[in-house]
Amino acid sequence: MSNVQEAFGKAVYSYAGAVRGYVSGRLKGVYGEGKPWFEAFMASLSFQKQNNVRNTIEAGNVKAPEDLIDVTHFSDVILRQKDIFKPLFGNQHSKAVTWAQEIADVRHEYSHQKPVSDDDAYRALDNMARLLVLMDENEKAAEVKALRDGLLTGGKVAAAPAAPHDPALQPWWKHAQPHADIRKGQFDENTFAAKLDDVVRDDGSAPLEYRRADLFFRKTYLTRELTAVLADTLKRLAGTGGESVVQLRTPFGGGKTHALIALYHLVRHHADIEDADRAAILKAANLTDVPRTRVAVLVGTQLDPNGRSVDGLTLRTLWGEMAYGLGGKDGYELLRAADESGIAPSKDKLIELFGLVRAGKCSALILMDELLVYQVKAAGRRVEGTTLQAQTFAFLQSLTEAVAGVEGVSLVTTFPESHIEYYDHQEAPEVFSRLEKIFGRVQAVRVPVQGEEIYEVIRRRLFDSIDERAATQVAAEYSALFDAHKDDLPLEARTTEYRKKMTRAFPFHPELIDLLYEQWGSMQSFQKTRGVLRLLARVIEHGYLSGAARPLISLGDVGLEEGEMQATLTQTLKDAEWGGALASDLSAPGGRSYQLDREQGGNYAKFRLAQTVASAVFMASHSGGTEKGITKPGLNLALMHPEGITPMLITDALDRLKNRLYYMHANGNYVFRAQANLNSVLADRTAQVKRERALDFVREAAQKAAGPSLFKPFIWPEGHKDVPDSTGFKLVLLGPDATLEDRDNRNRKLGILHQNAGGGPRIHKNTLVYLIGKGGDFTRAIEAARTLLALQDIEKDRALTLSPEQKADLKDRLTKQTDMVPNLTKAAYTALFVPTTNEAGEAVWRDIDITAHAKTRPTLEAAVTDVLRQEDLLIAAIDPALLLQGPWKLWPADEPYLELHKLREYFTRLPHLPFLESDAALKTAIVRGVQQGLFDLGQFIGQDPKNIWDRKNPVDEGSVFFTEAYRLARPNTIPRPTPPVVDPPPVVDPPPPPPIGPLPPKRGVTYVRLTLPDMPLTQIPTLLDLFHGLKDAKGQVQMEVRLTASNPAGLDQAMLDLSVKELIDQHGLNVDWHQE
């Protein structure tokens, strides 16, 4: 059973038990025990599923009614019993139906023993975990999440890992409890999009945590600036100081509206606020109570420039709305004429309105939000030759002056950083500029959230509780880690301030929050604090209860493999093109980073290393500025964690990811772009490179790696005819069709090559050794060759347009890949097969590992030579005694002579003998053996000895020839010739004296030339005898050999090349070659 099947089986078993208990428990709670709950259950099922349940009951294998509940029933029950499960699942109810059905579909395939794909298994396990959390089955959810995370790395199936005892090494969720709606994935993203008008209406449209003052302040962190805004406003309302006009100015989603809601609740519902929060604000304002205040709320997105009806009145303008909000109908009457005409009231009229409010012993607070939106809309309403927009500008100018002139009146308005953050309209820039001028004269600009306060804002909004002691321990552990790797990190990481920063940000890594708030926050489409909260809520939901969670939530833990997170990101980034990058490189389980973790295993699988690094780079790739991406030290800081990821692992992952991912670019820093990198182009070109072309390239690399020397290489022979049967040494490299692991093909190929030659059985079997490679190494070499050939094709393609970065990348890759192919090819050959025999004399193979030698020697031939010498299989000297006796058994006891030409052939024919580096080794052994008296050497003519060398008459190497005429004999066994009997010469009278006078000189024979036409092959050894005879005649002997071969049908060119020319090369003969 595969890991995928096993993981799904374990998960669905645990899930099914939870479903049975949950469904029966909820139905019993509503319908009652016994028959009622079961009838409600049956009524929830489809007709077919009801029949299946009845058949199971009739089969009689059911112990209890609860056992009849199956995972296939869950979607039907929660859909048809909506009144029960909708309140339990909240806004996740519809999704829960879909999740349950998807699980049932995969379980159906699994139960019918059909393979479950990685994609289906991952999605099913993720859905199970979500549903288990909704069912409050947290332990089972943790187990299923562990199984789910194991699929991403190809890890073995296991239960959720036990948390370490050291709090600093435990998953973050052990010390930080998220709000319930976030834990269960039930949070509404609109929770973080505060709308002041919804809160004021109090009609249920605003989330409860915004409507109720106590909940609102419980989840609101009172930053220094927010506290100052609240306190100063109370001072102004109490008449004890404070600014009259305050502008809240932050980027989109930066907390401006949140501050207005805080002011609204503070003055309207201060009695509901917890004593500690109210006391802190009052203390900052130096007040004992909140002043009695009338509030006018003006929200530009909600107000219609054409007016609205309320309380029998028609409110048409901002001043009409304000007058009604502060003074009711009486207040409106003061400004009715101005409201109905659309002409802005004077400053005096506004002061009169404020006086009306003050006369009722109340202060006046005006809250304005989204003015830019309102003003753009107001441009469309004509008012007595002008526009409502122009009149509203005049009103705002008067209002700021009037507010400044009356104690107890405060105006607080929000203002974006730029016009396009809120309203990308052609008139927006001009409207924005005019509003800036109006409020710029009297305003006090406040930014509710500043600097590291964002950490506490986020923690308060997302978590119920955080163990601060654990936070301190985690920060200390990380600081110690940073000290140990200080040279790999930015300077700030080693400071005490950074350690404190980690404590304040816990359970988040400060690099994650800083990047989102500052870098992402600079994008016009990202909603600053609100956007950070939305993203982090998703991150928390994904990692909660996961055994793979780390001590801190880092840039690499954002869950980019999860579909909803990807949807959130692409919506946030407002760029659908990112979908391709996410699907290609980051999605689970088919994304390339996830594949890399599965393939590498080890630390990659354990830490989800490639996924983590790729996710971090992606998150760092977005900014409203020009600087995007992240440096290597920045990645180290963001991703290192105790007993986990180290700088060395990050470096290794980056190197692999650079060559694997399609959308990650490396040019000084690391960044994702929506445009594919060279890897994408390379993948297409690599797919076009045929395997045969790559094989030819690797074969050439093998030829170069072999290297010529003592052993002549023969690369990937297809058959025995490709390897000649000569006396020269041959190194045969087998190819990918006969690998070390493929024993059958390997042995078959070895048998064919070693037993057969061109025209019959192989004679010289002790001249060959074989190198055999590993299949996986061959595959890597072939793929590397395909990549190199593809890179070369790209370089040659003039029609292909590459960026400067891609060109530089191409050049660098070509350099590396050019070296890689021969290195991989050479490294593939790890086993040397040498022919030999066993004790029974049977032919066997000796397998020798040459890996270490191949790494240090320049060529495979050099490595083979070293190994053979080391194993005494290739020798340069012979003990002469071994020629006479010993394990080689070269000279049978019943044989009087041992012919030298046979002796030499034994070493090329018999596999149990070592390889001789040269004939000189054998000659030296013969000379020494004669000198030591081990044997004699004789030169014979026919059966008659001509010359005999023995201990008393030693021989020199120049007189030793490997022919039939030269034979070794045991000492004194060569018959010495009997000296002939010579008669004494007859007595002859001396000749008469010669005549006096000069005699002509007597010349003997000075030149002899012997021509032996059609000399039979068997008589060739006699040439040596003739040679020595002429030499004995005191002549300077020269031998010229002329060999001719002819065939009208044509000679065998292959044999001429492989046999004849090889012999010429091997023996270094000086030949004048002529052919026709």
Domain spans of the chain, in order of start: 3-160, 189-446, 463-676, 686-870, 1017-1067
Highest-confidence range of 251-265, 529-543, 991-1005, 1013-1027, by mean pLDDT?
529-543
Mean pLDDT of 629-658: 93
d(CA 329, CA 326): 9
Q: Does position 290 have pLDDT exceeding 70, yes or no?
A: yes
> How big is the chain, counted in residues?
1076
- Rounded to whole angstroms, the Cα distance separating 322 from 411 reads 11
Contacts of 1032 by beta carbon, 8 Å cutoff, 6+ apart: none
Per residue in 84-93, pLDDT tens? 999 888 888 8
Q: Which candidate, 825, 828, 811, 916, places its Cα nearest to that of 868?
A: 916
- Residue 530 or residue 654, greater confidence: 654
836's enclosing H/E stretch is strand 829-837
Average pLDDT over residues 661-681: 88
d(C-alpha 948, C-alpha 897), whole Å: 13
Lowest mean pLDDT among 684-698, 732-746, 880-894: 880-894
Above 50 in pLDDT, residue 159?
no
User: Is the per-residue pLDDT at 315 higher than 90?
Assistant: yes
Residue 612 has pLDDT above 90, yes or no: yes
CB within 8 A of 1004, min separation 6: which ones? Answer: none
**CA-based nearest residue to 826, from 705, 1005, 698:** 705
Neighbouring-strand partners of residue 365:
295, 410
The pLDDT of residue 157 is 41
Predicted local distance difference test score (pLDDT) of residue 161: 46
Q: Which helix (H) or strand (E) holds 444?
A: strand 443-446
Q: Examine the pLDDT at 100 and tell me if it is beyond 80.
A: yes
The reported pLDDT for the residue numbered 766 is 92
Contacts of 1013 (CB under 8 A, 6+ apart): none
CA distances from 144 to 100, 126, 595, 611, 958 (A): 15, 8, 21, 20, 85
Rounded mean pLDDT, 457-475: 90
Report the chain's mean pLDDT, rounded to a whole number.
Answer: 86
Question: Picking from 131-140, 692-701, 1062-1071, which range would have the lowest pLDDT averaged per residue?
Answer: 1062-1071
The 10 Å CB-count burial string (b at 16+, else e) for 8-44 is bbbbbebbbebbbebbbebbbeebeeeeebbebbeeb
User: Residue 1038: what pLDDT?
Assistant: 79
pLDDT digit string, tens, across residues 982-1010: 566 666 666 666 666 555 555 567 777 88
pLDDT of residue 356: 94
Percent of the chain with pLDDT over 90: 46
User: What would the DSSP string read from start to end of 545-575?
Assistant: T-TT--SSB-GGGS-TTSHHHHHHHHHHHT-
Q: Are 750 and 783 in contact (CB under 8 A)?
A: no
420 pLDDT more than 50: no
Q: What is the band of 979 on the pLDDT scale with cuts at 50, 70, 90?
A: low
172-186, 585-599, 868-882: which is most confident: 868-882
- Per-residue pLDDT tens digits for 818-866: 999 999 999 999 999 999 988 877 888 999 999 999 999 999 999 999 9
Q: Is the pLDDT of residue 75 over 80?
A: yes
The pLDDT, as a whole number, for residue 160 is 44
pLDDT for the residue numbered 471: 94
Q: Which residues touch 434 (CB under 8 Å, ≥6 apart)?
A: 393
Query: What mean pLDDT is predicted for residues 571-598?
Result: 82
CA distances from 559 to 143, 183, 506, 517, 692 (A): 18, 15, 18, 18, 42
Q: Mean pLDDT across the stretch 903-931?
A: 93
* Confidence at residue 148, expressed as pLDDT on a 0 to 100 scale: 85
Q: What distance in Å separates the CA atoms of residue 1021 and residue 1033, rounded to the nearest whole number? A: 20
Q: Classify residue 711 as left (phi > 0), alpha (psi -120 to 50) or beta.
A: beta
Mean pLDDT across the stretch 491-514?
Answer: 92
C-alpha to C-alpha distances, 705 to 693, 700, 863, 867, nearest whole angstrom:
18, 9, 11, 16
CA 1024 to chain centre: 73
The reported pTM is: 0.68
pLDDT tops 50 at residue 252: no
Q: Tell whether the model's pLDDT for residue 192 goes beyond 80.
A: no
Per-residue model confidence (pLDDT) at position 444: 65
The predicted pLDDT at position 423 comes to: 47
Taking each continuous run of H as one helix and of E as one strand, the counts in the chain are 46, 24
DSSP H or E stretch at residue 313: strand 313-315
Predicted confidence at residue 869, as pLDDT, reads 93
Segment among 138-152, 229-243, 954-968 with least mean pLDDT: 138-152
Q: What is the CA radius of gyration of the chain?
A: 48
Tens-digit pLDDT profile for residues 384-418: 889 999 999 999 999 999 999 999 999 999 877 65
CA separation (Å) from 982 to 46, 946, 978, 985, 988? 132, 20, 12, 9, 17
Q: What is the mean pLDDT of residues 805-820?
A: 89
Q: Residue 162 pLDDT more than 60?
A: no
Confidence of residue 867 (pLDDT cuts 50, 70, 90): very high
pLDDT of 575? 61
